[in-house]
Structure 1
Amino acid sequence: MTFSFVATGDSLITLRQSVHDEPEFLQLVEIIRGADAALTNLEMLLHNYEEECYPAAECGGTYTRAPPSILHELIWMGFDMYSTANNHSLDYMYGGLFNTIKHLEVAGVPYAGTGKNLAEARQPAYLDTGIGRIALLSACSTFADFGRAGDARRDMHGRPGLNPLRYEKWYEANKSSIEKLKQLREELNLPDVHQSEESYHFMRNKFVEGNSPGKHTKTNKRDLEGNLESIKDALKQSDWVIFSLHAHEGLPHDSERPAEFIEEFARAAIDAGTTCFVGHGHHAMRGIEIRDGKPIFYSLGNFIFQNETVFKMPAAFYKRYDLDPYGGKVSTAFDARYDTKPRPGYQEHRWFTKDDKYWMSVLPRMEFEDDRIVDLVLYPIELGQEKPRSQRGRPMLADEVKGEKILGIIKKLSEPYGTEIKIEENKGILKL
Structure 2
Amino acid sequence: MAVAASLTACSTADSAAPERERLAGEAPSKAAPSTPERRPYTISFGGDVHFEGMLRPRLNNPRTALGPIAGVLRKADLAMVNLETAITTGGTPAPGKQFTFRAPSSALTALKAAGVDVVSMANNHGMDYMETGLADSLAAARKARFPVVGIGKDEAQAYKPYRKIVNGNRVSIIGATQVLDAEFIQAWTAAPGKGGLASAKNEARLIKEVRQARKNSDTVIVHLHWGTELQKCPNEAQLSLAPKLVRAGADVVVGGHAHILLGAGYLDNAYISYGMGNFVFYNSNPATTGRTGVLTLTINGRKVLKDSWTPATIQGGLPVPMTGAARTQAVADWKALRSCAGLSARR
Aligned-residue offset at 1:378: 0.6
Contact 2:64 2:110 in 1 (8 A): no
Does residue 33 in structure 1 map to residue 74 in structure 2? yes
Q: Counterpart in 2 of 1:295?
A: 271
Which one has the largest radius of gyration? 1
Contact 1:361 1:406 in 2 (8 A): no
Per the alignment, do residues 161 and 294 of structure 1 end up closer, same or farther by CA in structure 2, a change over 3 Å counting? same
Q: Work out which of the residue numbers 94, 103, 115 in structure 1 matches 2:131.
A: 94
Per the alignment, do residues 98 and 75 of structure 1 end up closer, same or farther by CA in structure 2, a change over 3 Å counting? same
Does residue 165 in structure 1 map to residue 200 in structure 2? yes
Q: Counterpart in 2 of 1:6?
A: 44
Contact 1:85 1:246 in 2 (8 A): yes
Q: Counterpart in 2 of 1:140?
A: 177
Q: Counterpart in 2 of 1:371?
A: 302
Does residue 415 in structure 1 map to residue 339 in structure 2? yes
Does residue 151 in structure 1 map to residue 191 in structure 2? yes
Contact 2:293 2:319 in 1 (8 A): no
Q: Give the number of equivalent residue pairs.
A: 299
Q: Work out which of the residue numbers 244, 250, 253 in structure 1 matches 2:223.
A: 244
Question: For the aligned residues, what is the CA RMSD?
Answer: 2.3
Alignment partners' CA distance in 1, 2:302 and 2:158: 25
Q: Work out which of the residue numbers 253, 257, 267 in structure 1 matches 2:233.
A: 257
Q: Deviations over 1:59-89 (max 9, x none)?
A: 3x42111111121111011111111100011
Q: Deviations over 1:320-369 (max 9, x none)?
A: xxxxxxxxxxxxxxxxxxxxxxxxxxxxxxxx554631111131111112
Aligned-residue offset at 1:30: 2.9
Q: Which structure 2 segments of 5+ residues have no match?
A: 1-37
Q: Work out which of the residue numbers 190, 204, 216 in structure 2 matches 1:225.
A: 204
Alignment partners' CA distance in 1, 2:168 and 2:219: 11
Q: Counterpart in 1 of 2:244?
A: 268
Alignment partners' CA distance in 2, 1:382 and 1:150: 35
Aligned-residue offset at 1:34: 2.0
4+ residue segments displaced more than 4 Å: 352-355, 417-420
- Note the 1:47-58 alignment, pairs <5 A: 47-49=88-90, 53-58=91-96
| 1:232 counterpart SS class | helix
Q: Counterpart in 1 of 2:6?
A: none
Q: Deviations over 1:196-241 (max 9, x none)?
A: xxxxxxxxxxxxxxxxxxxxxxxxxxx2221111001112233211
Alignment partners' CA distance in 1, 2:285 and 2:46: 22
Per the alignment, do residues 287 and 161 of structure 1 end up closer, same or farther by CA in structure 2, a change over 3 Å counting? same
Aligned-residue offset at 1:129: 3.8
Alignment partners' CA distance in 1, 2:338 and 2:257: 18
* Alignment TM-score, normalising by the size of structure 2: 0.79
Contact 2:46 2:80 in 1 (8 A): yes
Contact 1:258 1:286 in 2 (8 A): yes
Alignment partners' CA distance in 1, 2:330 and 2:94: 36
